[in-house]
Amino acid sequence: MVGAKIRKARKEAGLTQAQLAGTELSRSLISEIERNKRNLSTATLHILAQKLNKPLEYFVVEWRVSGAERALLLINHAHACIEIGDSEGIRLALDALKGFGALPDDVKARMHELIAWHEQKEGRPLGAVNHALTAEVLFAAEGRRDKQWYCCYLAAHATYASGLYSQALEMCNKALGIFRSAEDMPSKRQLTLYLLGSIYFALGKIESAQKCYTEIAASDGEEDKRSLLQAYHGKAICAQQLGNTVEALRWAEQAALQAEQCRDMEFYASSLITWGSCLVKMGHNDKALAVLWNIDNDSRFAAHIAHTARRELLLCLAEQDPYPGVICISLEQYLSAVLLVAPKQGGYEDTKTQWAVAKSRLRRAAKGDIVSVIQQFASLFLALSHSARAAEVLAYGASLMERNNDSHAAYTLLKEAYRLRRDTAVEVGSL
């Protein structure tokens, strides 16, 4: 028991309970811990380990077991910390694992898998990929295809979340290659297909993304209803991008219904926002604003959902003819206020919100102010690896210059948009 180990270590150090407690802890707490009457937090255990000049693992695992067993116990302890959200406990367990030398391959595989998960959580995609692929090779030697898949999927997700879409595509295809057939590990295959569709969508390969979502949607009747609603929403945004607004609206409605049944508020919100965007593209602004009103008045939605909804509606309204200036200016003011008070993240979501405001304002801008703003936002999206969004910005700029009877500037912007789309297609095709 941990209490007995602490009492033994205290006596070896020649300390009383009061001396061990010092100023950070109380003598009564030490007494309760030694009698196993109190559960220790990782932070308290770390303080005691330092005071008693013992490694943390001395208290966490049985000291006399083999190195491999100690490492395995630390890995299990880290997983227990993950379950309860003890980030400090995870970090300390990982620090202790770094001190191990040679380990059996099965233990080494689990260690690298754990480190890969932690690297991803901490936003270090390349470290996550490195450890995930090391674990994948070790699991492959054991014939653990489920673990192989997880490691490849983790690497794909880590790179996707960091905007490294070409690398994510490579990792995702590697994960798909582990399946022996369409019926092999179906739930894992659906997860992989959804991530693959998201990667293709981010790269602007809408038809390829649509194929992924269609395959998932064809599995109607499976137990994993969340995969279905993801597929429905994926098909909605693909249809919207391809200009098929009626089909997009139909899939968005199905996704919203499925999400509400599953009580998945994240996808319910996304589906409603897509629904509203489709209504704008069909010219039904009043109905779209009614969807926005429903989001505002539903207490189940967090505040950022309302921000996202306004942004997506403004991105669509800015392209409408005739230009709905009153609505757009109202949405611009709301989003500008959000940008003023929100922490400056500088990532894709913030940039997209800034672009929504700028996109609308450009409809009222003087001809000479348009190109510089377009080039600025195209560069920002390119820096974030969103070449498809950068191409959209350039194409929008071309349409504005055409409205202003400047065919030369319109052609230059359109040519640059085409080059970006072509380069992305070549890059994706080479993987």
| Residue 155: Cβ-neighbour burial (10 angstroms; 0-12, 13-18, 19+) | buried
Is the pLDDT confidence value at 86 over 60?
yes
Which stretch of 104-108, 168-172, 363-367 has the lowest confidence by average pLDDT? 104-108
Q: If you count DSSP H runs as helices and E runs as strands, how many of each does the chain have, helices first?
A: 23, 0
* Best CA proximity match to 253, nearest among 234, 283, 232: 232
pLDDT tens column, 46-73: 788 888 888 776 776 554 456 777 888 8
pTM of the model: 0.79
**284: CB partners within 8 A, 6+ apart:** none
- Mean pLDDT, rounded, for 377-385: 93
- Cα-based distances in Å from 287 to 58, 241, 283, 335: 64, 20, 9, 21
Please, are residues 313 and 356 in contact by the beta-carbon 8 Å criterion? Answer: no
Cis peptide, bond prior to residue 324, ω within 30 of zero = no
CATH number of 2-54: 1.10.260.40
The CB density around residue 273, as the number of other CB atoms within 10 Å, is: 26
- Mean pLDDT, rounded, for 249-255: 95
Q: What is the pLDDT of residue 428?
A: 60
- Cα-based distances in Å from 206 to 87, 218, 287, 399: 38, 18, 27, 22
- Mean pLDDT, rounded, for 62-90: 78
Q: How far apart are CA 355 and CA 360, in angstroms?
A: 8
Q: What is the pLDDT of residue 63?
A: 46
Q: Which residue has the tokens 């007995």?
A: 4
pLDDT tens column, 220-247: 555 577 888 999 999 999 999 999 999 9
**177: CB partners within 8 A, 6+ apart:** none
Domain extent listing, the chain:
2-54, 302-364, 373-431
The CB density around residue 83, as the number of other CB atoms within 10 Å, is: 8
- Mean pLDDT, rounded, for 190-213: 94
Q: What is the pLDDT of residue 71?
A: 84
Instruction: Pick 72 or 279 by higher pLDDT.
Output: 279
The CB density around residue 247, as the number of other CB atoms within 10 Å, is: 16
Helix, strand, coil share of the chain (percent; to 5): 75, 0, 25
Q: Which residue has the tokens 């969508």?
A: 201
